[in-house]
Amino acid sequence: MLFDDLKSANADVWRAYTHHAFVEGMADGSLEEASFRHYLVQDYLFLIHFARAYALAIYKSRTLDEMRAGLDGVKAILDVEMGLHVQLCGQWGLTPEDIEGAPESRATLAYTRYVLETGLRGDLLDLHVALSPCVIGYAEIAERIAGPTGRTNDGNPYGIWINEYAGEAYQSLAADARTKLDTLAGGPVSSTRFDDLSRVFSQATRLEADFWQMGLDCAD
């Protein structure tokens, strides 16, 4: 699969992201709560731009099926995921006013604008490659740190987040995202095209790691 090839070509960058200290802190429950709250606020702001990215995917689509897929992504974020995120923030003492009125951190600005710029200058495959470290990476991270029984009942304060992304629904979404990359590629890509996609993947993955670091530092 194209995703696996991209991940293999950027193994060190991928590991730095998926095994970041923020992630490991969630895994064992040692992450500072202030760091997680800061991350939650910025992740909500990121979702706004994520919805815009799927709206851009509609524009970049070549077929009605691709347009419908982009629309499904927009609706899933705006109608479902953002509401769930507000509920999660509420469990951590964050009100809608806290998250909607917060300024975007530099890490949020850098990552979201990179994804959108990549989609604007490239095609639908470029855009989905830029999104893949987030969409697929969260599934891989959560599956690894959840383990065979999950972490909801072991006193880990981050068990809800872990099990949400390790759950069947999100794992299925991530699997579909993998397949989507292969469908958009339309078969093996040339070495030149792969190098271009690999650069996009690498930069997006680095920006994902920076997003974790932003949360860890609780800094803009």
Residue 20's region, left for phi above 0, alpha for psi from -120 to 50, else beta, is beta
Look at the chain and report how many structural domains it folds into: 1
Q: What is the pLDDT of residues 27-39, one digit of tens each?
A: 999 999 999 999 9
Mean pLDDT by 10 residues, the chain (220 residues): 97 98 95 93 93 96 94 90 86 86 94 97 97 96 83 76 91 93 95 98 98 86
Task: Enter the pTM of the model.
Answer: 0.93
pLDDT for the residue 83: 85
pLDDT for the residue 109: 96
| CATH, residue 113 | 1.20.910.10
Q: Active site includes 134?
A: yes
Catalytic-labelled residue, pool 89, 104, 140, 208: 208
pLDDT for the residue 203: 98
Let me know: does 134 contact 200? Beta carbons within 8 Å: no
Q: What is the pLDDT of residues 109-135, one digit of tens each?
A: 999 999 999 999 999 999 999 999 999
pLDDT for the residue 220: 56
Which residues does 62 contact at the CB level (< 8 Å), separation at least 6? 124
Q: Active site includes 218?
A: no
Catalytic-labelled residue, pool 81, 134, 164, 218: 134
Residue of 177, 175, 164 lying closest to 40 (CA atoms): 164
Give me the domain span that covers residue 22. Answer: 2-217
pLDDT for the residue 150: 52
Q: From the DSSP assignment, how many helices (H) and strands (E) are in the chain?
A: 12, 0
pLDDT for the residue 149: 58
